[in-house]
Structure 1
Amino acid sequence: MSVEGVDHALRRRRAELERLSQDLLDLEAHPGNRLLEGARLCGETLRRWEDAQAETATLWWLFDAFRRTLERAEKLRAGRTRPGPAELAELTTLLTGPSVEAKVEDVPVERRSLIRPLGEWLTLDQVLTRMDAAYREIAQTAAAVDEAWTVLAPMINRAEAVRDEALELERALGASDAELGRLTAELAAARDAVRGDPLTHAADDRRVEFDRLVTRLEERRDLLARAVRFKEDHEGRMNALAELIAQVGAAEREVLTARDEVLVKIASPALPPIPDQARNLHDRFMALSSPHAGGEWIELARRTADLERAAEEALAQARETRSLITGLIDRRDELRGRLEAFRAKAVRLGRAEDARLGGIYRRARDLLWTAPCDLRQATAAVASYQRAIRQSGADG
């Protein structure tokens, strides 16, 4: 190489060294690497991290060897303003030839083999190539870890937020919740496992398991929230529940009254089963109100909610049953109205004095105004009267 060629090569190698230095610092500061430093790793993440650590040792050794060789060349060039052929030859070898010795003892233990050469000489370009390969492997591991944490961190944060909300609700209740304690311990174990091996736990099936845990925490938090609300409005809830059960009793008494009325006014009525839930609901309510149940807010809230649902269903059933029963009388009244409407039509047609129509009308009227009323026969009689009127109108 000429003097100009040497100077150009020195400037280029110095620029490469400065770029390498910055790249290595950036790699060390990569979020993926910083996440793993000092962590208690295991599984796939530990294996990848150990490989990356070995590559890091190789990378820094290669960088140091590159730096030492370049500094040696720079020192040699600085010693002569006009270097002679010998100096130029040495500089050429340092800058382009096999000038970096890779000694066996410089190779990390995990990279050694029992069968290996005694040493190896590398050019600066070969050093750069090996550094690039090591850098890529380390960077890929760091990027994989960073990507895994991008997925996992929100899951952990969400789970811990739900846990904290549940713990706050537990404190508001003033009593420990065994199930929340179990879920909290399970979360701690799952969180440590995730932090120890993020590369494995970022897989879809592992995230599903973590999501199930979060769902169970959310369900427990919601249960505790209902218990807190119940505790804060215990007296109001109890009063409202007592009133609801009283409404069930009143509605069931109305069913009995309607049944008794139908049995008098309707012959052989097809009655639905008569509801009788008020007494049982009242007994359950009294059990809720007993002193020994007062301290178990979660269980008391659950039992109260169950009783509220049962009372609401019983009230709806009683009202529906009453509607079905009174519907029989409504049916009789409807038939009465239709019969009189048909009678008015007969008058308009001038058939009011028709003996045959009069006989059919009187039979239908007797059925409808006789207690108990046979709805089946009355329905048939009204239909017969309607047909007779229609035929009479057609004949006229």
Structure 2
Amino acid sequence: MSLEGIDHALRRRTEERDRISGDMLDLDGHPSHELLKGLAATGETARRWEQAQVRLVTLWWLFDAYRRVLDHAEELRAAHRPDIAALTGLLAGPSVELKPDAVPVEKRSLLRAVGEWITLDVVLARMDEAYREVAETIAAVDAAWTDLLPRLDRADAARRAARDLATGHGIADPLLDRVDADAARLRASAGTDPLGSASLRGEMDATAAAAVARRGAMEQAARVREEYAERARLLAERITRVAEAEDEARRIRDVVTAKILAPALPDLPDQAPALRDRLGALATVGGRWLELAERLTGLERGAEEALAQAVRAAESIGGLIGRRDELRGRLSAYQAKAVRLGHAEDVALARLYGAARDLLWTAPCDLRRATVAVAEYQRAITRIGAAG
């Protein structure tokens, strides 16, 4: 190499050394690396971290050898008369000696009896390989913690809120105790073996969901403790409305049965007595606020559903009377149309009209036959109208 080439190569190698030094210091100071260094890792994380530590030793050992060669080259270049041959050998030739006793364990071989001389480029390639392996392990651990810990944090936040409510209101909750135990176990696993805990994501999410559910149960129990008397009073009123709605459905059924022939009626609800019994049974729950909240909320929901069911039944049954009245209206409208068309005295139309009217104004009314009769009368008038 020429002196100019040596200066160029030395400058490039020096910049390369400084960049590598910065990268290695960044790797050493990575937050997850700092945590791993003080971690009693277990499982898959322990296995990967042990391998990474061996590679880290190799990386620093190789970097030290690389740096020593460059330091020596800089000393030679600073001489009054630089030894160009020696500099060329250092920068371009096999200038780094790997002695058998100095080579890291994972690089040794029982068959190697003498040291190995390698170039700076080979040293750089081996450093890059070791760096990548260590960086990949640290990045994998960091990604696992980044994924797992927020899941546990969500569960912890909900658990703490639930626990505060339970303590403040003197509520015992075995289910919350179980969530606490599960969360502690999962956090311990994620803390010491994040790589092996990836398969526990679903369990962590389930624990978080269970914690949120317990918090909701505690909030509900606290509300019930404060509002029980008023909610019980309103519930009693709602059950009374259910009974009234069911009575109304039965009244409408009796009317329809008398006025409509063989109606297809839905089953009539009769839930008010059972709802009253359930309301009375709440008094036996005493101060078990979690159980009381669950039963009271379920009873409130049941009362709402029973009221809606009774109203639907009444509307469905009453619709048969509405159907009869709608047919009566249609028959009257088409009779008026027949008069406008000048066929008020038409014997055939009068016969069809009379048959439909007899069916609609006879109790009980045969809706099926009445519908057919009105349709026949309608078609006859439509044909007259079309003929002009």
TM-score, structure 1 length as denominator? 0.76
Q: How big is the shift at 1:147? A: 3.5
Larger radius of gyration: 1
Q: Which residue of structure 1 aligns with residue 233 of structure 2?
A: 239
In structure 2, what residue type is equivalent to 1:261? V
> Does the alignment pair 1:254 with 2:248?
yes
Q: How big is the shift at 1:279? A: 0.4
Match of 1:144 among 117, 135, 140: 140
User: For 2:266, what is the secondary structure of its paired residue?
Assistant: coil
Asked if the contact 2:171–2:290 (Cα under 8 Å) also holds between the matched residues in 1, the reply is no
Using the aligned pairs only, state the percent identity.
Answer: 56
Query: What is the CA–CA distance in structure 1 between the aligned matches of 2:64 and 2:387, rounded to whole Å?
Result: 122
Gaps of 5+ in 2: none
Cα distance 1:383–1:213, how it changes in 2: closer, same or farther (>3 A)? same
Asked if the contact 2:176–2:214 (Cα under 8 Å) also holds between the matched residues in 1, the reply is yes
Query: What is the CA–CA distance in structure 2 between the aligned matches of 1:109 and 1:381, rounded to whole Å?
Result: 103
Q: How big is the shift at 1:174? A: 3.0
Query: What is the CA–CA distance in structure 1 between the aligned matches of 2:340 and 2:3, rounded to whole Å?
Result: 132
In structure 1, what residue type is equivalent to 2:62? L
Cα distance 1:44–1:357, how it changes in 2: closer, same or farther (>3 A)? closer
In structure 2, what residue type is equivalent to 1:46? A
Cα distance 1:140–1:264, how it changes in 2: closer, same or farther (>3 A)? closer
In structure 1, what residue type is equivalent to 2:266? P
Q: Which residue of structure 1 aligns with residue 308 of structure 2?
A: 316
Query: What is the CA–CA distance in structure 2 between the aligned matches of 1:163 and 1:301, rounded to whole Å?
Result: 19
Q: Which residue of structure 2 aligns with residue 192 of structure 1?
A: 188
Match of 2:318 among 323, 326, 334: 326
Q: Which residue of structure 2 aligns with residue 119 of structure 1?
A: 115
Q: Which residue of structure 2 aligns with residue 274 of structure 1?
A: 268
Q: How big is the shift at 1:105? A: 3.1
Match of 1:180 among 161, 176, 181: 176
Q: Which residue of structure 2 aligns with residue 222 of structure 1?
A: 216
Query: What is the CA–CA distance in structure 1 between the aligned matches of 2:307 and 2:350, rounded to whole Å?
Result: 47
Q: How big is the shift at 1:319? A: 1.8
Q: How big is the shift at 1:248? A: 0.6
Query: What is the CA–CA distance in structure 2 between the aligned matches of 1:356 and 1:20, rounded to whole Å?
Result: 109
Query: What is the CA–CA distance in structure 1 between the aligned matches of 2:243 and 2:337, rounded to whole Å?
Result: 46
Gaps of 5+ in 1: none
Query: What is the CA–CA distance in structure 2 between the aligned matches of 1:393 and 1:101, rounded to whole Å?
Result: 114
CA deviation profile, 1:157-180 (whole Å, cap 9, x unmatched): 334334334434444543232222
CA deviation profile, 1:188-230 (whole Å, cap 9, x unmatched): 222332333333444xx55344334433333443344433443
Cα distance 1:127–1:284, how it changes in 2: closer, same or farther (>3 A)? same
In structure 1, what residue type is equivalent to 2:227? D
Query: What is the CA–CA distance in structure 2 between the aligned matches of 1:73 and 1:336, rounded to whole Å?
Result: 114
Query: What is the CA–CA distance in structure 2 between the aligned matches of 1:393 and 1:74, rounded to whole Å?
Result: 116
Asked if the contact 1:95–1:124 (Cα under 8 Å) also holds between the matched residues in 2, the reply is yes
**Deviation larger for 237-246 or 69-78:** 69-78
Query: What is the CA–CA distance in structure 2 between the aligned matches of 1:23 and 1:391, rounded to whole Å?
Result: 96
Q: Which residue of structure 2 aligns with residue 133 of structure 1?
A: 129
User: For 1:106, what is the secondary structure of its paired residue?
Assistant: coil
User: For 2:101, what is the secondary structure of its paired residue?
Assistant: helix
Asked if the contact 2:221–2:289 (Cα under 8 Å) also holds between the matched residues in 1, the reply is yes
TM-score, structure 2 length as denominator? 0.77
Match of 2:292 among 297, 300, 311: 300
Query: What is the CA–CA distance in structure 2 between the aligned matches of 1:347 and 1:81, rounded to whole Å?
Result: 132
Query: What is the CA–CA distance in structure 2 between the aligned matches of 1:391 and 1:93, rounded to whole Å?
Result: 115
Asked if the contact 2:186–2:204 (Cα under 8 Å) also holds between the matched residues in 1, the reply is yes
